[in-house]
Amino acid sequence: MSLAAAAAAGLPQALGFARAGGLGQGGAPIAADPGHGFLSPTGVEIAFLLVGLVTLGAAIVTVTTRQLVHAALWLVVTLGGLAVEYLLLTAEFIAWVQVLIYVGSVVVLLLFGLMLTKAPIGRSPDADSGNRWAALTVAVASAAALVWVVVDAFRTTWIDLDGAAAGSTEVTGKALFQNWVLPFEALSVLLLAALVGAIVLSRKAKATTTDRPGARTESGTPSAKEPR
Amino acid sequence: MHLAYPAVLSALLFCTGLYGVLARRNAILVLMSVELMLNAVNLNLVAFDVWLSKAAEEALHSGQALTLFTIAIAAAEIGIGLAIVLAVHRNRGTADIDKLRDTAEGHETDGPDSDAPAPETAGEKAEATA
Amino acid sequence: MTTTTLAALVPLLPFLGAAAGLLLGRTAPGFVRPLAVLPTLTAFALAVLVAVRQGGGRAVDAATELTPTGSVPIELALHIDGFAALVAVLVGLVATSVQIYSTGYLRDDPRYPSYAALVSLFTSAMLLVVYSGDLMVLLVGWEIMGICSYFLVGHYWETPEARAASIKAFLVTKLGDVPFLIGLFALAVDAGSFRITTVLGAVASGGLDHPTLIALLLLAGVAGKSAQFPLHTWLPDAMAGPTPVSALIHAATMVAAGVYFIARLLPVFAASSAALLVMAVMAAVTMVGSGLAALAQDDIKRVLAYSTIGQLGYMTGALAVGDRGAAVFHLLSHGAFKALLFLAAGVIIHAAGTNSLAAMSRMSDLRARIPDAYWTMTVALLALAAIPPFSGFFSKEAVLGAAEHVATGHTQGVPGAAGWVVLVSGLLTALLTAAYAMRLWLLAFRGRGIEAPDHGKQPVAMNAVLWLLAVPSLAFGLATGLLPDWFDGRDLTPTLTTSVLGTGLALVGGLVTYGAWKHTTALAARVPLGAVAAHPEGDAAQVEAEAIASHAAAYGDVAAAPDPADPGRLLLGPLHRHAAVGFHLDVVYTALFVRPVQAGASLVRFLDREVVDTYVRGAGAVPRLLGAAVRRAQTGNVQTYVSALLAGTVILAVAALLVATGA
């Protein structure tokens, strides 16, 4: 939690770096100028790199820690770090949506899930399955392949962060409600379907639990499941 | 900013999520890892959208729009996924993925060809199929 | 109706009767007997009508081609000359007699419906052979007869003898049919048509390139069908079928089909003197051998079977000397009296409860029990032995006369050697024929000993048919003067020389046998012998089936009996042992063909079991092992699956990248 707080505290600073770095650059074509090498990073890049390292580290802790609740909390750090990265990329609307939905609801939901499945508090030695070495191999191999490909393809590409923010609320809203209205509305149908699906699954679970005599008290309070 | 930074970060995050999906035992932790992977993709989308909106003056902002959609879908997915995990947990008393092995070979021993048949019946079958 | 329509109806009616009989046999048993008798009877009447209309004049020819069938057209053709008209009348007469007789003979047989339908189908096929003007259509009838014969011989399939006999008959005739088919193709290729008229036209203009080859190939099929040496061995065994079947198929009609076929295509055979010579030798060996074998048989029907082979040998001999008039004349008279002989033998077997002559010779009063069979059989045996004035005398003398003509060099285009061979063997056979006819008569009707068992009165249907057939046996000789108009016009009246020689030899044979019987009959009382199946309530077929089944058990052999009172044993002397088993031809065939084929079959079985099946089992075992191996991966752990899936994806993606970048 302390790291997440630090990340949140450093947010304006990082933004300031981004602005400063962005101001230092002129209009750039798609291909990077020769001047923009890896050896001469701009301020925004340094900030991105640092926040990225924190994010990645938190992600790795998330998938390796043996304390299940800690994993959820480290996930908060990761998602918050990603929100900062969005801000650094001038996509502010997405960043706030990220904070709102992921940090605000998804992680809470996951914590609910952990609690409802009676996840043990404290270290659980069997958090990882016997598959972890195969998983590690696959993950490292795919990471190597992806990094190699991405670096090989985009090592000289330069993002111009100057000028109007590419992801301000206005820009995003215009794009969303001018060009993406139909998918947006279709998405609402999907959300409705998900809602119905979640309710149906819960009801089925309730039907099976009525077999047990002790489950009657639970089934007596259906409103407890509604927030989901 | 170099495009390589967000791209590499997203790739690494993705593979971290991948590891989590493959290695975690608890189903909820697997769902978390899935969220990681989805976020890695989101980062990629945003980075490329920013790059293209400036470099190619692309006004559609498809990357950001898709990111929003992905977030919405991810929210729905986590809701459904948790409902399933809870249902499984209620029925089986566990949410450990490697204990849910109903599809394993030899789970039902009285199946038609569940175990290796006797040699003479094997010969008969070979004759019948010949 | 035109003659063509009538002629088309003749084979069609029994066919429809057979189809209806097979369809209705189970559901409407009351219709079976009318359906068996009436179509055949109508066909007989129509055949008579066709013969009257044709009148021995110009041949009736009609043809229609249903559909083009390739290079050489196959047509539904009729070709009715005097030969065809008269043979069809004979077939109709015998088939009608047999159908009527069968209603009594197989009175209580549960398989009577299918039996009657098969007899009808057989009749239809034979009439098709007789009338057909197209060789391919003829072949269809030819093969249907073969398969009907197979089914009918095996009618008592509960007995192993009948089963073996039916398969043997089928295989041996098929052995001849294969070269026959090839010969037909060769003939059609040379002549350019399957039509008999066209073929004969081509022969007349010298259009055949390989007459000897074709004639010999066709001869193989004829030998199989007409039971000529060396393919005759199936006929004695075929006597395991019911007696009416023997009368119809194995005496009067089907075996005559081969002879009739040669008669139709005689110019083809006459184009090759080598083929005629082969035929003459074949006929001679068949005649003499079968006469000797007939003297040694104990089963009354086997005596008649060998006699049939011998008489067919006469017909083949007549054809070998180029006189088809004489051959078909003998075919007609022989068909009538041999059918009579068989049907009478059926009555005797029923009355005596056995088919063994040795057992009959130890019964008294058999004559009195079946007077109709006694008198008609006497007539038929006299005809068989060619005693004037019975029909057999005239037809046999026609054959001998034709042979003498050739031998003395009066006939063009036929080698004189063939004439001599046929003449000498024919005279020798006349002696043997009279001898075994006499032996049969004496042993069957002159027995002494216990009284014959009482099997009740014979059915009217059976006795009436005997008298009906006795008429042509008695009086067909009168037609000698008329027949040349129907045939080729060659004179068929007996010549003095051969008449005297033949009749004299026949009398000698008969008297010698009588003497021998007088000598041996005293022994009969000393050696009690015989097994009798007594079924006062059962029908004749049941008695016969039991008699066949018990013969081998009682006497140690289906053909012979260890009876010292047999005059044949005295006459043949040391030859008797060999003649009884048909001169060991079956043993030779067993060694030459059956054993190699069985060895080959067991080899194939071994190869199939051990080699082919190994591959098959291997083909099953390898996937089974693979499946067992793959099954181990089926752990049910989803994470393992996804790991494998993603590992494969990564490997494929890297490989695709390397290929795409050309690395």
Q: What is the DSSP string of C245-269?
A: HHHIIIIISHHHHHHHHHHHTHHHH
Residues C595 and C489 in one domain: no
Selected residue with higher pLDDT from B57 and A57: A57
Q: CA-to-CA distance for C280 and C313, rounded, in angstroms?
A: 9
**Chains B, C: CB contacts under 8 A, how many?**
50
Domain count, chain A: 2
Domain with A217, as residue range(s), is 180-228
Q: Are C399 and C437 contained in the same domain?
A: yes
Binning pLDDT at 50, 70 and 90, where does residue A19 land?
Answer: very low
Residues C520-574 pLDDT 10s: 777 766 666 665 666 656 666 777 777 777 766 666 666 666 676 777 777 777 7
Q: Is the pLDDT of residue A51 over 90?
A: yes
In this prediction, residues C307-336 reach a mean pLDDT of 88
**Which pLDDT belongs to residue B10?**
94
Q: Is C14 a domain residue?
A: yes
Tell me which residues of chain C have a C-beta less than 8 Å from any C-beta of chain B: 613, 616-617, 620-621, 624, 628, 631-632, 634-639, 642-643, 646
Q: Is residue B20 part of a domain?
A: yes
Kindly report, residue by residue over C435-461, the tens digit of the pLDDT. Answer: 888 888 888 888 777 777 776 777 788
Q: Kindly list the distances between the CA atom of residue C269 and the CA atoms of A154, A178, C221, C257, C272, in Å, as whole numbers in the listed order.
A: 98, 102, 14, 16, 6
Name, in order, each residue with C-beta under 8 angstroms of A121's C-beta and a sequence gap of 6 or more: A67, A69
Q: How many domains does chain C have?
A: 3
User: Chain C neighbours among A 43-72 (CB < 8 Å)?
Assistant: none
Distances (CA, A) of B115 to B112, B121, B129, C627, C631: 9, 12, 19, 11, 10
Instruction: Return the number of other C-beta atoms located less than 10 Å from residue B37's C-beta.
Output: 19
Interface test with B, best of A64, A146, A162 (most B CBs within 10 A): A146
Both C286 and C265 in one domain: the answer is no
* B118 lies in some domain: no
Mark whether C215 and C302 lie in a shared domain. Answer: no
pLDDT at residue C254 greater than cutoff 70: yes
Q: Are residues A141 and A185 in the same domain?
A: no
State the residue for tokens 């029923």.
Answer: C350
Structure token digits, residue C369: 């029990």
Please indicate, yes or no, whether residues A91 and A195 belong to a single structural domain of this protein.
Answer: no
Instruction: Give the pLDDT band of residue A211 (cuts 50, 70, 90).
Output: very low
> Do C550 and C629 fall within a single domain?
no
Instruction: Tell me the C-alpha distance between C360 and C303, whole Å.
Output: 14
Instruction: Give the pLDDT mean for C329-358.
Output: 86
Q: In terms of DSSP bridges, do strands C363-364 and C450-451 run parallel, antiparallel, or are they unpaired?
A: parallel
Q: What is the pLDDT of residue A5?
A: 40
- Asked whether the predicted pLDDT for residue C126 surpasses 80, the reply is yes
Identify all chain A residues contacting C643, using CB atoms and an 8 Å cutoff: 131, 134-135, 138
Check whether residue A59 and residue A100 sit in a common domain: yes
**Residue C151 covered by a domain:** yes
d(CA A139, CA A60): 12
Residues A51 and A139 in one domain: yes
Q: What is the mean pLDDT of chain A?
A: 75
Chain A contact present for C639, CB below 8 A: yes
In a domain, B83, yes or no: yes
**Contact across the interface for B7 and A143, Cβ inside 8 Å:** no
Kindly state whether residues A78 and A185 are assigned to the same domain.
no
Question: For residue B14, what is the domain's CATH number?
Answer: 1.10.287.3510
pLDDT in tens, A72-102: 999 999 999 999 999 988 888 999 999 998 8
Q: Does the complex come out with an ipTM higher than 0.90?
A: no
Q: Using the beta-carbon criterion (under 8 Å), do A145 and C653 form an inter-chain contact?
A: yes
**CA atoms of C87 and C131, how far apart (whole Å):** 9
**pLDDT tens column, C383-408:** 888 888 888 888 888 888 888 888 88
A169 assigned to some structural domain:
no
Residues C237 and C294 in one domain: no
A100 touches chain B (CB under 8 A): no
Task: Verify that C264 and C279 share a domain, yes or no.
Answer: no
Under DSSP, the state recorded for C156 is G
Question: Helix (H, G, I), strand (E, B), or coil: what is residue C525?
Answer: coil
Look at residue C492 and tell me whether its pLDDT is greater than 80: no
Residue C533, pLDDT score: 60
Residue C87 forms part of a structural domain: yes
Q: What is the pLDDT of residue C538?
A: 64
More confident residue, C278 or A12: C278
Q: How far apart are CA C422 and CA C320, in angstroms?
A: 8
Which tokens go with A25?
């650059």
Question: Which of A21-25, B121-125, C222-226, C498-502 is least confident?
Answer: A21-25
| Residue at A171 is within a domain | no
Contacts of A44 (CB under 8 A, 6+ apart): A17, A18, A20, A21, A22, A88, A161, B1
Q: C640, A145: Cβ pair inside 8 Å?
A: no
Please report which confidence band the pLDDT of residue A9 belongs to, taking 50, 70 and 90 as the band edges: very low
What are φ and ψ of residue C81, in 5° steps? -105, -170
The per-residue pLDDT for C326 is 87
Domain presence at residue A174: no
C654 shares contact with chain A (CB less than 8 Å): yes
- A110 within domain boundaries: yes
Residues C564 and C608 in one domain: no
Calculate the alpha carbon distances from C591 to C285, C588, C631, C650 in Å: 21, 5, 56, 73
Of A138, A141, A149, the CB nearest to C657: A149
Query: pLDDT at residue C232 above 90?
Result: no
Q: What is the pTM of this model?
A: 0.66
Residue C484: pLDDT over 90 = no
In angstroms, what CA-CA distances link C303 with A14, A57, C432, C560, C630?
Answer: 125, 112, 12, 10, 73
Domain annotation covers residue C483: yes
**Predicted pLDDT at B20:** 92
Which residue in A84, A97, A102, A60 sits closest to A10, CA to CA? Answer: A84
pLDDT-based confidence at A169, cuts 50/70/90? confident
C-beta separation of B38 from B74 below 8 A: yes
The shortest CB-CB distance from A159 to any of B3, B75, B76 is to B3
Any domain includes A173? no
Q: What is the average pLDDT value for chain C, to the nearest integer?
A: 84
The CA–CA distances, whole Å, from C295 to A169, C307, C324, C457 equal: 124, 9, 29, 31
Residue C632 with chain B: CB contacts under 8 Å: 105
**pLDDT greater at residue C488 or residue A35:** C488
Say if residue A91 is in the same domain as residue A149. yes
C628:B98 CB<8 A:
no
| Average pLDDT, consecutive stretches of 10 residues, N- to C-terminus, chain B (130 residues) | 90 94 89 93 92 82 90 91 88 82 63 42 43
Are residues C379 and C317 both part of a single domain? yes
Domain count, chain B: 1
Structural domain range at position C368: 274-328+351-573
A71 plus A142 within the same structural domain: yes
* Same domain as C299, residue C226: no
Say yes or no: C616 contacts chain A, CB-CB below 8 A. no
Domain of B68, in residue numbers = 4-100
Secondary structure (3-state) at C61: strand
Please give the share of chain C, as a percent, with pLDDT higher than 70. 93
Q: Let me know whether C180 and C297 are in one domain.
A: no
Q: Is residue C599 part of a domain?
A: yes
The average pLDDT across C301-311 equals 89
